[in-house]
Amino acid sequence: MKMLATVADFSAALDAERCAGRTVGLVPTMGALHDGHGSLVERAAAECDVVAVTVFVNPLQFGAGEDLDAYPRTLDADVKLAEQAGATLVFAPTVAEMYRDGTATTVSVASGMTAVLEGASRPGHFDGVATVVAKLFAMTGRSRAYFGEKDFQQLAVVRRMARDLSFPVEVVGCPTVRADDGLALSSRNAYLSDEERAAAPVLHRALRAGAEVVLAGGRDAAAVRAAMEAVLATESLVDPDYAVVVDAATLATPAPLDGDLRLLVAARLPSARLIDNLGVTVADGMHRKDD
Ligand code: PAF
């Protein structure tokens, strides 16, 4: 497996693959890879001839109170996991290489999608994500890019950015990988005490309760929210931040509920803040739970 560190080498390697008739899959990451990332690489490897994994801790998406230096950096282990999952190359540039001329240009998706939910407590975060992903898309060229549905708002923002800026990149959302008890895999789960870990699956149970309201014909967002909040309230260790139902593409709440919907929850536990989400589709009076 190839390791690349410069933008020029990365772009040239993928151009050469496409010239040889091979399709390119891209899996952007900030490293600290776990099985959730592994599943993105496996999906990319199943659908594309060449899989490029990028490992870059992007300073632009960290806020003032967030500790960029404390973010885990585990490149050797990341390279091993990426290779085992089927990656062809890993691109791991330095900050100086990625932002060679600083950052006079920022990509900013409209605030309706970026100042809400996770963006409400992390101002500027999604501009940082949109900017680095736009740069990675420009460097990669024609490709399919794989993102986890776990960070659903990020996925929606990236999809919108890629469409608005006409990148020749098909953004592919991949289902959340869950433990047997429903807890979504996340590097943050490692911070949870045994007691917190036992309480954490309540997020997934809350989402299922919200989805049941829609599946039973409920079209009122407040009723869906109330069902989710009632389940979250059953765990005293869990302090809910938000529980919402939104349109999957715009992240606005339709009234009445209709189309591709996403239920999203966020909650603080003593040692970590967790997020999770679930899809439900309502079309012409029919409804389907997506995962
Ligand atoms: O999800 C992440 O790891 C990051 O936000 C991403 C998409 C790699 C951009 O830095």
In one-letter notation, the amino acid at residue 193 is: S
Domain count, the chain: 2
Same domain, 196 and 267: yes
Relative to the CA of 58, which ligand 1 atom is closest? 10
Residue 132: CB within 6 Å of ligand 1? Answer: yes
- pLDDT of amino acid 289: 67
Model confidence, pTM: 0.95
Same domain, 220 and 272: yes
What's phi and psi for 154, nearest 5 deg?
-60, -45
Residue 129: CB within 6 Å of ligand 1? Answer: yes
Is residue 115 within 8 Å of residue 23, measured between CB atoms?
no
Strand partners, 24: 50
- pLDDT of amino acid 66: 87
Q: What is the pLDDT of residues 94-122, one digit of tens each?
A: 999 999 999 999 999 999 999 999 999 99
CATH of the domain at 253: 3.30.1300.10
Q: How far is CA 165 from CA 114, 141, 192, 210, 227, in A?
A: 17, 13, 39, 34, 38
CATH of the domain at 59: 3.40.50.620
The residues assigned a catalytic role are: 37
Same domain, 16 and 98: yes
Q: How confident is the model at residue 284 (pLDDT cuts 50, 70, 90)?
A: low
Mean pLDDT (the chain) is 96
Residue 174: CB within 6 Å of ligand 1? Answer: no
The SS3 call for residue 278 is strand
Best of 66, 129, 157 to mutate for ligand 1, by most ligand atoms within 8 A of CB? Answer: 129
Alpha-carbon span 285 to 265, nearest angstrom? 25
The widest CA-to-CA distance across the chain, in whole angstroms, is 58
Same domain, 87 and 146: yes
Alpha-carbon span 229 to 243, nearest angstrom? 7
- DSSP for 169-210 reads EEEEEEPPPB-TTSPBP-GGGGG--HHHHHHTTHHHHHHHHH
- pLDDT of amino acid 187: 81
Domain ranges, residue 139? 2-174
Position 182 in a domain: no
Contacts of 50 (CB under 8 A, 6+ apart): 14, 17, 22, 23, 24, 25, 88, 89
Same domain, 53 and 165: yes
The SS3 call for residue 146 is strand
Q: In this model, does residue 288 exceed pLDDT 80?
A: no
Asked which of 174, 199, 233 is the last residue of a domain, the reply is 174
Q: How far is CA 202 from CA 81, 149, 210, 236, 274, in A?
A: 30, 19, 12, 11, 11
Give, using CA atoms, the residue closest to atom 9 of ligand 1: 129
Same domain, 135 and 112: yes
Same domain, 198 and 97: no
Same domain, 23 and 106: yes
How many Å lie between the centroid of ligand 1 and the Cα of residue 129? 6
Alpha-carbon span 148 to 37, nearest angstrom? 8
Alpha-carbon span 267 to 278, nearest angstrom? 15
Average pLDDT over residues 150-173: 98
- pLDDT of amino acid 73: 93
Alpha-carbon span 19 to 118, nearest angstrom? 40
Same domain, 244 and 125: no
Same domain, 23 and 145: yes
